[in-house]
Structures are given as C-alpha cells and as structure tokens.
Amino acid sequence: MFPSVSELQALLAEPKQIFITTHHKPDADALGSSLAWATYLKKKGHSVTVVTPSDYPAFLNWMQGNDEVVVYEPRQNDRQVRDLVNRADLLFCLDFNCLGRINELGEYVRRAPGTKVLIDHHQRPENFADVSFSEPTAAATAELIFEIIRDLGDQALIDQGMGEALYAGIMTDTGSFRHPSTSRNVHLIIAELLNAHIDLASVHRRIYDSHSEIRLRFLGYILKDKLVVLREFNTAYIAVTKEELREYESKTGDTEGLVNYALSIEGIVLAAVFIDRSSAVKISFRSVGDFSVADFSRNHFDGGGHHNASGGVSTESLDATVERFVGLLPQYQAQLLGTPAEPVVVAPPVA
C-alpha cells in the first residue's frame, strides 16, 4: 500500500474536475496509464480530460478513450487547454517527473491552482507535486496505476479496455518482459489483468506488427547504412538526418525502437540514437548492465530517465552532437569495456 493512497482516497471522495497529462510524444506506458486512469476516475463519477503535450504514434490509437484525448497544439487550442488546467481541482502527472517534459504545459501546470498528483517511475523527481507516487523500481507507470486502483479497493472496476491499456504500458516498458525491471510483481499483475479478459496477442500485434511498408524499408536502410559500431567502446549508434526522415515519410513513432537494434549486437553495452528533429536533436540512450545512461544523459545531454533507458536533447547540429558524444566515450572506456557483456560460459557436459 502506498503511503499516499489514503490521501488520494480523501481527494477523490467527492466528484472532481480532473486533468490528466503525460510526457511529450507519449509512448504506450504514458498513454495507456493516462487512459486507464481516466476511465477509472470516470467510473467513480469524476469529470476527466486527458491532455497530451504533443501528438503520439498512430499504433496507440486503439486504446479505450483515445477519441476523447485533447492533443495540445499551442496555435490551435491554447485557450481551451489553459482553461482545463486552471479549472481542474486535481491534476495528475503520469509517467514523467519534471515539468520540462511537457513543454509549454509545464508552466501552466506549475501555476495551476488545483492539487497536483505525480504518479511516475523515473529517477530523481522534481519537486512540483502536492502528492507523490514516485517509484523508480516500478517497471512502468501502468504497474503503479494498477496497484493504486487495487489499493483503493477497486480492482473489480478494471475492464478489458483499461486492462489492455495497462498491459500495453507494462509490455513496452519492460521490452516485452525481458528487462531486469520485470519483477514477480509484474507477472502477478499481468495474471490479474488476464482476469479482465485482456487479449495479449492482439495488443502485441497492434503495437509491434502494425508498420507501414515504408517504415520497414526505413528500418532496413538504417540498419544497412547508418549503424555505426565502435568496438573499442562497446558502443553502437545511429544518427538520422532531417532529409532521411523526409525521404522515408517518417511519422511520430517511426523511430521508436531503433535504439534497441543497436543494443542487440552481441557485446554492445551502450547504444544511442540521434534524430534531427526540427526543434532540436532528440537522443535515446540504452545500456546493459552497470553503465547508467540516466546519469550519462543527465550529465551531458540535458536529459534523464532510467538506469538502462534514458533520453536527452541537444541544440547543437546533428554532426556536432554526434561528435561530442563520440568525444565523451574515452572517459567512460574502462566502464564500457568492464561491464560483463560476454555470455556465461557453460562447461560442456561430461561424456
């Protein structure tokens, strides 16, 4: 039981106006947690709006409640969103923990008169919330949402749509149940979600097997021509230019997962993907073992995240950003080479 559940119970005792938001370019955990939480709160009689600070991949559009999401667009609905923020009694911030992650919405939320509640699993939360469920050991925010609903005594309200949204969040944040964050608790929660009749195979298909043809050809091109492997640092990286994004008609979500291909090479400890977006270079970092990409990203690329999965930004050019990244590697060489990445050698069976 979270220490703040009783506080939350008190806050939710009367019908409230509720605003839910999540991080820039929401992923399945961000959107799935937000939508499942929104459905739960509606079932409890509250008025709820989910606002995302940007658009999100089309492969998430199937989630229950998706049609009612307000996507913040500064030039189109700034007033409407500001009203929602200011009128809310309660503001839930899900799957992020520093207000910079929600762009312009950050300042609106910071100044909002309502009570702010953080539900998140990233390291080092900024101190902006009145009530906080911050659990960096959790595999996903969706795991926390499940536990909070259960601790509030309402597990029976989790329907198939909510269950599939939560499942999608846990499935993607655990890399389909293979990251070390995939605890016994995670599997027990999935077992509970199965009781809500979630369709596992269908969620996998909707998330992982719904690519356009051109997206697959983009992936082929990137892996063949753009993957750089630096064996002397156990590092692999990919840098994608604006022209390449244009040529392959890249849409939101199309570059998601590229970094995992770089990390899938045997012996690679650190993987990075640099995407030349219009506003800045967006970076994804992944690692295996002891090397903390949360620290690396925080120290050098204005970012953060989890121990083995983080992100950051750079306002330098793509080339300059990559050059700076490669220039940083020698100071980490011992760590990058020292992290055991070799497979465990099993003694041959005695004949």
Q: In the complex, which residues of this chain contact ligand 5GP (CB under 6 A)?
A: 23, 98, 101, 122, 284, 303-306, 309-313
* Position among 23, 29, 65, 255 found at the interface with Mn ion (CB under 5 A): 29
By CB under 5 A, residue 173 contacts Mn ion: yes
Instruction: Name beta bridge partners: 132.
Output: 118
**Distance of closest approach, residue 228 Cβ to Mn ion, in angstroms:** 28
Rounded Cα distance between 3 and 193, Å, is 24
Contacts of 76 (CB under 8 A, 6+ apart): none
**Distance of closest approach, residue 312 Cβ to ligand 5GP, in angstroms:** 5
- 307: partner contacted, choices ligand 5GP, Mn ion, none (Cβ within 5-8 A by kind): none
Helices 184-195 and 160-173 cross at an angle (nearest 10°) of 160
Tokens 């983080």 -> residue: 310
Pick 65 or 311: Cβ nearer ligand 5GP: 311
Residue nearest to ligand 5GP (CB): 311
- 304: partner contacted, choices ligand 5GP, Mn ion, none (Cβ within 5-8 A by kind): ligand 5GP
Q: Residue 20 has which token pair? A: 């839910």
The number of residues in the chain equals: 351
The HSE-up count of residue 101 (CA atoms within 13 Å, CB side) is 24
**Distance of closest approach, residue 120 Cβ to Mn ion, in angstroms:** 8
- 284: partner contacted, choices Mn ion, ligand 5GP, none (Cβ within 5-8 A by kind): ligand 5GP
Amino acid at 285: F
Residues 104-143 interacting with Mn ion (rule: CB under 5 A):
140-141
From the CB of residue 178, how many other CB atoms can be counted at a distance below 10 Å?
Answer: 8
Q: Reading across the β-sheet that carries 309-314, which strands appear in turn? A: 227-230, 235-240, 270-276, 281-287, 309-314, 304-305
**Distance of closest approach, residue 160 Cβ to ligand 5GP, in angstroms:** 27
Rounded Cα distance between 288 and 179, Å, is 9
Pick 95 or 244: Cβ nearer Mn ion: 95
Pick 248 or 274: Cβ nearer ligand 5GP: 274
- 276: partner contacted, choices ligand 5GP, Mn ion, none (Cβ within 5-8 A by kind): none
